[in-house]
Structure 1
Amino acid sequence: MAGNTEPLSPRAKLAVTAGKAAAAVSRAAGRGSGSVIGGRVALKLDPDLLARLARHLDVILVSATNGKTTTTRLIAEALRASGPVVSNALGANMPAGITSALAGGSDAKYGVIEVDEKYLSGVARDTTPKAIALLNLSRDQLDRAAETRMLAEHWREGLAGSKALIIANADDPLIVWAASSSANVVWVAAGQEWKDDAWSCPSCGGVMQRPGEDWFCAECGFRRPTPSWALSGDHVLDPHGSAWPIKLQLPGRANRANATTSAAVAAAFGVPPQVALERMFSVQAVAGRYDVVTFMERELRLLLAKNPAGWLETFSLIDPPPTPVIMSVNARGADGTDTSWLWDVDYTRLAGHPIFVLGDRKLDLAVRLEVAGLDFQVCESLDEAVRTAPPGRIEVIANYTAFQDLRRRVGN
């Protein structure tokens, strides 16, 4: 339980110290935060370290294809109303990065942890979470994470028998199927803009019917559960039917959905919705996402979009035409090396915007935009794109490693 700060064994202490030293060397060498290498070194010295570090915390895990970093940050802010929080706020979400984060939180009451989809079951086994928030599943890095139903099946098997409270999105059939193996689920109507990974029933393979916001399988009866929390416009509806205003500095419907799930999680730990939502207002950007920066005397807003569902949500955020849009796509290991997902994105939504394309895979993106019938310009660098763009604030959309490249270039 929280507050039981049982001292670490000498071996665990050595592992933590060695991990912090490795992280410091990595930072000094300019190789990033060092959290991953630090965690790897620590786990090498004590393979059970993650479980030991989590023992005194009330752990909340957050997993999804999209929105997990932001939701983790919102939940952490909300829970600080009730006690100190340790969190992997920079998004290092595999066991090494999670271990590093928890190693820095010896005085914390709560551990709010973002977890890569592929590692959820293992991290849940090690950390014995009190709650797990499941937001969505959609195609992403198919070369690494496998297809979505297989991932949902791993979750379903891994969560069976878990004592954790599962806070799950009732609007995503894959999430509902994965969470339904658990005895204790709170359903949240958080919405689902992207539906192309959930047209067949995950339970029996039948065709899903989607009248309005509802969904069900006509063949086996698998259907949308009744939610107790819901996003309704700019308000969160709680289980008592009260409506609480959402006031965020983060833009868009997807972030209001993230706030709704976060309010449901916070309520499970005794933080009232009004308090939780007021605290979330302080979050302006998340690991550089949504930041507005000045570069070459121009205002750029930095937006991350890693997969078709993410690009769809991002298009709904951008300022209307003729706002210039710069798009950058890489296909390095951390992005997934397969760019076929570009063909699943409806780029016609960018009609009327001056478009500039860059990144390692700019020609793949250029072919896709050509087929969509859009006007665009291929650029060799961010500097060239900014120099060429017409006046006004520029929307910059990039996938994962391209986003990191851009942040380094603008000094963010």
Structure 2
Amino acid sequence: MAGNSDPLTPRAKIAVTAGKAVAAASRAAGRGSGSVIGGRVALKLDPDLLARLAQNLDVVLVSATNGKTTTTRLIAEALRAAGPVVSNALGANMPAGITSALAGSSDARYGVIEVDEKYLAGVARDTDPKCIALLNLSRDQLDRAAETRMLAENWREGLAGSKAVIVANADDPLVVWAASSSPNVIWVAAGQMWKDDAWSCPSCGGVMQRPGDDWFCGECGFRRPTPSWALSGDHVLDPHGSAWPIHLQLPGRANKANAASSAAVAAVFGVPPQVALERMYQVQAVAGRYDVVQFMERDLRLLLAKNPAGWLETFSLIDPPPTPVILSVNARGADGTDTSWLWDVDYTRLTGHPICVIGDRKLDLAVRLEVADQHFQVCENLDQAVQMSPPGRIEVIANYTAFQDLRRRVGN
């Protein structure tokens, strides 16, 4: 985008400086990265700061229930082929955290920004994005997030008439409904493993028909659009029908889907699929997710799963039985305090794995596993659970704050 080299007013500069000072003080006090509190202070001093910071950037926004942190990272790697990138790589994805991230770089050409689903429309208004990637919508944080159809409606209204190129998953009816109000959409066949939030038509409420990989509403005719990009096994198919191999160190089908969407986004900025996909190989772990760490003479693989769709995808990539599995669930503010979603997860997929259960809500999880007829043991903490497992690999699956607790304990 054209623009003068220094878009910041004196007030904005003071706001950025104050925000950085507060963030540094927060870090020094051992209270995390400080990006959120720093961003809050900066926005208090200059409410228009996010828009000012974004005005010299070509911005990509990434939003979804699952996979947005990873996809943001993959897109950022791909776009570095075309110029310097600033990104909220640590996942602080509300306006304060986004403002902090953008304030940290003055020479970037691209801004690759993960956005919490509830804030997408507002952040899109402020940052005037060139591209918006919409991956999926499913139930999450039942006490905080509006039901998925309301979120889709918010997206649809917020993005209506947007100048941005929308890169959207053609396999998720809620995402298609949200994106369909935009004049310029690139559809990606990225797949949808979890279908339990998309049985009724978001357009009319009718029952969705799902023959094979297709879907349509038998009552109003709302249907799956024809994709121009597609995930096909270990390849991405581009709009010309060429197949490009996916090179990832990240495991699982869900990350291949994230790579397919990321390649479509990169192409909007002129980065060819081959270059984009090769660059994505650099990503080994994302904010600790998928890391393998040595702890008490075992190899722990740390896996984040925050909601039913995420748990389903995670079960598909763990090593086969009898690999031990440790499950950890909390229900603190950042997780959502309602654990009834545990009943939506198919835990019979863990049959044959020795299971240990830890976390604040280990007893809720134990009841759920008992009903699913799984063999498990309730443990007091990670150390006890690891001691009960044989040497070798252990898969550790945790929801959001439980995952942070685990990373602190293993020094990751």
TM-score, with structure 2 as normaliser: 0.99
Residue number in structure 2 paired with 1:22: 22
Residue number in structure 2 paired with 1:94: 94
AA matched with 1:230: A
Cα distance, 1:143 vs structure 2: 1.0
Residue number in structure 1 paired with 2:6: 6
Distance 2:230 2:9 in 1: 45
Distance 1:149 1:75 in 2: 27
Residue deviations 1:113-152 (CA, integer Å, cap 9, x gap): 0000000000000000000000000000121111000000
Determine if contact 1:36/1:97 at 8 Å carries over to the other structure. Answer: yes
AA matched with 2:208: M
Distance 2:47 2:205 in 1: 39
Residue number in structure 2 paired with 1:159: 159
Secondary structure at 1:142 match in 2? coil
Residue number in structure 1 paired with 2:246: 246
Cα distance, 1:56 vs structure 2: 0.3
Distance 1:320 1:2 in 2: 53
Residue deviations 1:13-38 (CA, integer Å, cap 9, x gap): 00000000010011111111110000
Give unpaired runs (5+ residues) of structure 1.
none
Residue number in structure 2 paired with 1:371: 371
Residue deviations 1:279-331 (CA, integer Å, cap 9, x gap): 00000000000000001111100000000000000000100000000000000
Cα distance, 1:105 vs structure 2: 1.5
Distance 1:161 1:228 in 2: 21
Distance 2:26 2:91 in 1: 17
Residue deviations 1:204-240 (CA, integer Å, cap 9, x gap): 0000000000000000000000000000000000000
Distance 1:37 1:122 in 2: 19
RMSD of Structure 2 on Structure 1 (CA): 0.7
Residue pairs, 1:164-183, within 5 angstroms: 164-183=164-183
Residue number in structure 2 paired with 1:264: 264
Cα distance, 1:4 vs structure 2: 4.1
Residue number in structure 2 paired with 1:139: 139
AA matched with 1:189: A
Residue number in structure 2 paired with 1:282: 282
2:390 is the counterpart of 1:390: yes
TM-score, with structure 1 as normaliser: 0.99
Cα distance, 1:391 vs structure 2: 3.0
Residue pairs, 1:11-410, within 5 angstroms: 11-410=11-410
Distance 2:105 2:149 in 1: 35
Determine if contact 1:324/1:392 at 8 Å carries over to the other structure. Answer: no
Determine if contact 2:137/2:175 at 8 Å carries over to the other structure. Answer: yes
Distance 2:222 2:261 in 1: 23
Secondary structure at 1:277 match in 2? helix
Residue deviations 1:40-70 (CA, integer Å, cap 9, x gap): 0100100110000000000000000000000
Determine if contact 1:3/1:109 at 8 Å carries over to the other structure. Answer: no
The number of residue pairs the alignment matches comes to: 412
Residue deviations 1:149-177 (CA, integer Å, cap 9, x gap): 00000000000011000000000000000
Distance 2:21 2:322 in 1: 50
Cα distance, 1:5 vs structure 2: 2.4
Secondary structure at 1:300 match in 2? strand
Distance 1:392 1:170 in 2: 40
Q: Cα gap change, 1:3/1:395 in structure 2, threshold over 3 Å: closer, same or farther?
A: farther
Distance 1:195 1:316 in 2: 15
Moved over 3 A (4+): none
Determine if contact 2:7/2:53 at 8 Å carries over to the other structure. Answer: no
Residue deviations 1:344-390 (CA, integer Å, cap 9, x gap): 00000000000000000000000000000001000111000000112
Distance 1:29 1:374 in 2: 43
Determine if contact 2:7/2:55 at 8 Å carries over to the other structure. Answer: no
Distance 1:309 1:391 in 2: 30
Determine if contact 1:236/1:246 at 8 Å carries over to the other structure. Answer: yes
Give unpaired runs (5+ residues) of structure 2.
none
Distance 1:359 1:146 in 2: 26
Distance 1:337 1:395 in 2: 25
AA matched with 1:252: G
Secondary structure at 1:225 match in 2? coil
Determine if contact 1:3/1:57 at 8 Å carries over to the other structure. Answer: no
Identity across matched positions, percent: 89
Distance 1:70 1:248 in 2: 12
AA matched with 1:123: V
Cα distance, 1:247 vs structure 2: 1.0
